[in-house]
Amino acid sequence: MKTSGNTILLTGGGTGIGRELARRWHDAGNVVIVTGRRLGSLEETARDRQNIHAFAVDVADPTAIAAFARDILSRFPALNVLVNNAGIMPLEDVSVSRDLSSAEACVTTNLLGPIRMTDALIEHLRGQGDAAIVNVSSGLAFVPLVGAAVYSATKAAIHSWTDSLRFALKDVVEVIELAPPAVQTELTPGQSTRGGYMPLDAFIDEVMGLFVRQPTPELIGVERLAFLRNAEAEGRYEQTFTTLNGSAH
Ligand SMILES: NC(=O)c1ccc[n+]([C@@H]2O[C@H](COP(=O)([O-])OP(=O)(O)OC[C@H]3O[C@@H](n4cnc5c(N)ncnc54)[C@H](OP(=O)(O)O)[C@@H]3O)[C@@H](O)[C@H]2O)c1
């Protein structure tokens, strides 16, 4: 992926990791389009940055995605990078029968959202020079957190789908996975100040250092990701699962 001169569409750009990526990419000389459900927070991301453009789009709404894709390509025909970052992380107890609305919203937002957004833009991206798709997964794609079981499953699916996309789009569109470890954002309540989580600035610094490497790594993984990412390959999956989730009752 080029480091400047891109026109980047980034979902979930009004807060957290998405906001900071948008600002860094903008400041490095890219045009960045940020989307999310709350226009106010997107406009805050864009404040004092002429080449960040804010649009409210709900990635859980397939009709809205299709209409948005048509509109954005007419406004920004140079669009060449899609970053599927928007996500939600409901905490849940999967051992009991429950209202599934938040689990279903998690699948729709985290998995169907990227699939639909990519589908709406893929024919355009195939025709662009230097096209790239960046999918944001998670360390929990590699070892699940039981208290966020459906979330972890959506991220494992994003990892798998990204591998397939990369193979299918070889030499046509570059496909990159960005897998954050636990980072201080408001993805879950109170997380932005939780001890042991990576400070957002330090995370973004390390990520941007990886994005400037040429060729861009297929997996953008900061050093802290290795604990989860390499657990299985290093023969410590069960031990890591227990460390993450505590002992069985
Ligand atoms: N922070 C971590 O520890 C961590 C670790 C691993 C992976 N990740 C992943 O990193 C990505 C960014 O998360 P974050 O930590 O930066 O949390 P965040 O601050 O909560 O960001 C998530 C963003 O997604 C947007 N979003 C949620 N549902 C949406 C929908 N239906 N349509 C459009 N936008 C939607 C939200 O904006 P609106 O509410 O305005 O729509 C929000 O700006 C997520 O995919 C997350 O799973 C984070």
Q: Which fold has domain 7-245?
A: Rossmann fold (3.40.50)
The residue type of 181 is P
237 is catalytic: no
User: For residue 86, how far is its CA from the centre of ligand 1 (angstroms)?
Assistant: 4
In which band, very low, low, confident or very high, does the pLDDT at 29 lie, cut at 50, 70 and 90?
very high
Is 136 close to ligand 1, i.e. is its CB under 6 Å away?
yes
- Cα separation, 126 vs 142, whole angstroms: 30
Query: Which sequence spans correspond to the domains of the chain?
Result: 7-245
131-149 core/surface letters (b: 16 or more CB in 10 A; e: else):
bbbbbbbbbbbbbbbebbb
Over residues 51-88, the pLDDT tens digits come to: 999 999 999 999 999 999 999 999 999 999 999 999 99
Angle made by CA atoms 144, 83, 76, in degrees to the nearest 5? 165
pLDDT at 247: 72
Atom of ligand 1 nearest to the CA of 89: 47
User: For residue 16, how far is its CA from the centre of ligand 1 (angstroms)?
Assistant: 7
Over residues 173-210, the pLDDT tens digits come to: 999 999 999 999 999 999 999 999 999 999 999 999 99
In which band, very low, low, confident or very high, does the pLDDT at 249 lie, cut at 50, 70 and 90?
low
Over residues 111-160, the pLDDT tens digits come to: 999 999 999 999 999 999 999 999 999 999 999 999 999 999 999 999 99
